[in-house]
Structure 1
């Protein structure tokens, strides 16, 4: 894929213009009311209205619906993130005498002290990884330092506290496996095919097969 990623240092939610729904190889479509800080976006990406994206990367074709909150995360290609999701929610210093912001966002309260840079760096370093072609349902929460494997589905309202294998369906609080999407052989072959790395023209050429063929038949056609 020849399109370049676009890095955005800061977008004020009050300054985001209304934009159409036509996606682009040139970078993200960011809808009104979003806050974007220190984040990178691949081509054909989209950030839903009122969302917040902090210190994160959305790879090509990934999108989040409205009011999503994504922090310190890498979101893989073709990830499907529903509304009101939260990925990588930051933590508080629960071992200390207080949990409160004043410990680490101290400049909001006093003029003579800096914020706690070490604590903020610790937060930012706890990366969450969302694999390619995943589906996170409405209201899902994914905790820091969790990896969700390729093709996994997380049911609405689930809270993911541990790594999720590829092509697994998870639900509940905390999220537990319901069943694999496919038999192990199919999942392994899809991982090997890695169609999410195809270029835009290859995706268009295979579009009707993506629409009409079940996974096994698709693999037979494109992997043999």
Structure 2
């Protein structure tokens, strides 16, 4: 098992990373594809995740075979096919369409801090997943998800809040994801052992 680094992401074999940036202690799983995205500190994706035009918050947990920010096709045109915008693939004297790629890149998905995106979930472009939220395996998320909400289904709908009333707001105020690496280590035993409310009572 790799030991993660504060200075460079751990990129597993077969992963493709293009125009993307990484904070400290990040990891990209085997065979994953990451395009035009930002991984903030401690964010990671498991094997064969496909992430495009996305910002992953600190401590984002992205399971295997997820798709975040899937790119789209020009469905209002006469054809859907990518010969419209990847034209250089087909003709020596044709250029690709830079305006199409710029518009596609601008449709960013935002995944908040301490989130969990389950196996095989799909997060559409321009969707924001709030801090602390959970997206169930296989869900297709087409709308924003409130912080600390658990969603599931196709399309995804809220199931329940992750915490009882008042706990989410207190967790947001504590913002432990901004703690130093050393402070996280000092609190490790409490992260492991204490329920959320007891953790808050100790560290608020």
TM-score normalised according to structure 2 size: 0.99
Q: Which residue of 1 aligns with 2:64?
A: 83
Query: Aligned partners of 1:121, 1:183: CA distance in 2, in Å?
Result: 42
| Structure 1 residues 2-151: aligned runs within 5 Å | 21-151=2-132
Q: What is the aligned-residue RMSD (CA, Å)?
A: 0.6
Q: Which residue of 1 aligns with 2:150?
A: 169
The Cα of 1:173 is off from its aligned counterpart by 0.3
1:122-159 Cα deviation digits (max 9, x unpaired): 00000000000000010000000000000000000000
Dislocated runs of 4+, deviation >4 Å? none
Structure 1: gaps (5+ residues): 1-19
3-state secondary structure, aligned to 1:201:
helix
3-state secondary structure, aligned to 1:103:
coil
Q: Which residue of 1 aligns with 2:196?
A: 215
TM-score normalised according to structure 1 size: 0.90
The Cα of 1:26 is off from its aligned counterpart by 1.1
